[in-house]
Amino acid sequence: MSVKTPKFVRNNQRKIQHIMAIKITDECINCDACISECPNNAIYEPDDEWTYAQETSLEGSITLPNGETADAEESNEAISDEFYFIVTDKCTECKGFHDEPQCASVCPVDCCVPDEDNEESEEKLLEKKAWLHGE
Ligand code: SF4
Ligand code: SF4
């Protein structure tokens, strides 16, 4: 099994590549191979609390990609207490760092897959990377 190929659509005579953040499915075997590969610290162990500030340049009151505000240092509840999980707002599909999603590249069971609920353009993912790292 491999990561799905991104869809291409034509819009206003231009080809726009639709890309998605990555999610981890319940096939995860909690092997820990992916966590150190993420350039955005978007991957967490099961039941771990997470913050926007960890391994990013975000601090204090921040505006999230969806326009809401949050405290970068505030701890957030784990998204899964059984499997490793990815914080969508911190995942850029490795854009700006690597050609391929690094978590998907190292995962032995191919459970890092595109998140259809969080489809984002490459432009948006690069904006997110700049936001995360204060560029
Ligand atoms: Fe991190 Fe890249 Fe995986 Fe997203 S795709 S969780 S940025 S390693
Ligand atoms: Fe789970 Fe794959 Fe990460 Fe291992 S590499 S912890 S199986 S998502």
Please provide the average confidence, as pLDDT, over all residues in the chain: 87
- CB–CB of 19/53 below 8 Å? no
pLDDT above 70 (res 67): yes
Pairing of strands 85-86, 69-71: unpaired
pLDDT given for residue 41 in this prediction? 94
Mean pLDDT over 3-32 rounds to 63
CA of 55 to the centre of ligand 2 (A): 20
pLDDT given for residue 19 in this prediction? 64
Mean pLDDT over 56-82 rounds to 95
pLDDT above 70 (res 106): yes
- CB–CB of 71/60 below 8 Å? yes
Report which of residues 21 and 26 the model is more confident about: 26
- CB–CB of 83/47 below 8 Å? no
Can you give the residue ranges of every domain in the chain?
A: 7-132
Q: Given ligand 1 and candidates 92, 99, 131, which is best to mutate, with the most ligand atoms within 8 Å of its CB?
A: 92
CA of 114 to the centre of ligand 2 (A): 14
pLDDT single digits (tens) 38-53? 999 999 999 999 999 9
Asked if residue 96 has its Cβ within 6 Å of ligand 1, the reply is no
Q: Which CATH number fits domain 7-132: 3.30.70.20, 3.40.50.10300, 3.30.565.10, 1.20.1250.20?
A: 3.30.70.20
pLDDT above 50 (res 15): no
